[in-house]
Structure 1
Amino acid sequence: MATADLLLHPVRMRILQALFDADPLTTAQLRDRLPDVPPATMYRHIALLTDAGVLEVASEERVRGIVVRSYRVRAEEAVVDPAARAAMTREDHQRAYATFVASLLTDFDRYLASEDADPIGDGVVYRQAAVWLSDDEFAAMIEEIEKAVVTRIGRTGGQGRTRRIVSLVVVPDKHAGPPADGESVAE
Structure 2
Amino acid sequence: MKKENKAEIIFHPVRIRVVQALFGERQMTAHELQTATGVASLATLYRHLNRMVEAEILAVVEERPVRGAIEKVYAFAHGSVAKFQPEEYRAIPPEDQLRYFNALVGSLLNDFGRYVGQKQFDRGEDGVITRQIALNLTDEEAKQLWETLYEALAPYQKLALDPARRRRILTTILLPVVEQVTEEETP
Q: TM-score, normalised on structure 2? A: 0.83
Of 2, 9, 33 in structure 1, the residue corresponding to residue 12 of structure 2 is: 9
Match of 1:148 in 2: 152
**% identity of equivalent residues:** 32
Measured in 2, the distance between the counterparts of 1:167 and 1:116 equals: 23
Q: Is contact 2:58–2:75 with CA below 8 Å preserved after alignment? A: yes
Amino acid at match of 1:25: M
Measured in 2, the distance between the counterparts of 1:159 and 1:129 equals: 33
Q: Does 1:72 align with 2:75?
A: yes
Q: Is contact 1:7–1:80 with CA below 8 Å preserved after alignment? A: no
Measured in 2, the distance between the counterparts of 1:158 and 1:42 equals: 26
Measured in 2, the distance between the counterparts of 1:16 and 1:114 equals: 23
Of 98, 103, 119 in structure 2, the residue corresponding to residue 99 of structure 1 is: 103
Q: Does 1:112 align with 2:116?
A: yes
- Tell me by how many angstroms 1:77 deviates: 5.6
1:33-56 alpha-carbon deviations (Å, 9 max, x no partner)? 222443222110100111222112
Count of aligned residue pairs for this structure pair:
176
Name the SS of the counterpart of 2:166 in structure 1: coil
Measured in 2, the distance between the counterparts of 1:39 and 1:19 equals: 17
Q: Is contact 2:19–2:81 with CA below 8 Å preserved after alignment? A: no
Match of 2:185 in 1: none
Q: Determine which structure has greater relative contact order: mean sequence separation of CA pairs < 8 Å that are 6+ residues apart, divided by chain length.
A: 1
- Tell me by how many angstroms 1:67 deviates: 1.0
How has the CA–CA distance of structure 1 residues 159 and 27 changed in structure 2, closer, same or farther, with 3 Å as cutoff? closer
- Tell me by how many angstroms 1:3 deviates: 2.0
Match of 1:23 in 2: 26
Unaligned runs of 5+ in 2: 181-187
Measured in 2, the distance between the counterparts of 1:19 and 1:119 equals: 25
Range moving further from structure 2, 147-156 or 126-135: 147-156
Unaligned runs of 5+ in 1: 177-187
Match of 1:163 in 2: 167
How has the CA–CA distance of structure 1 residues 58 and 112 changed in structure 2, closer, same or farther, with 3 Å as cutoff? farther
- Tell me by how many angstroms 1:169 deviates: 0.9
1:97-142 alpha-carbon deviations (Å, 9 max, x no partner)? 1011011112222233344533211100111011112222222212
How has the CA–CA distance of structure 1 residues 57 and 110 changed in structure 2, closer, same or farther, with 3 Å as cutoff? same
Q: Is contact 2:30–2:46 with CA below 8 Å preserved after alignment? A: yes
Cα RMSD between the aligned structures? 2.2
Amino acid at match of 2:104: F
Q: Is contact 2:14–2:37 with CA below 8 Å preserved after alignment? A: no
Measured in 1, the distance between the counterparts of 2:71 and 2:39 equals: 21
Measured in 1, the distance between the counterparts of 2:8 and 2:74 equals: 21
Q: Does 1:52 align with 2:55?
A: yes
Amino acid at match of 1:19: L
Name the SS of the counterpart of 1:18 in structure 2: helix
Range moving further from structure 2, 9-18 or 154-163: 154-163
Q: TM-score, normalised on structure 1? A: 0.83
Q: Is contact 1:3–1:81 with CA below 8 Å preserved after alignment? A: no
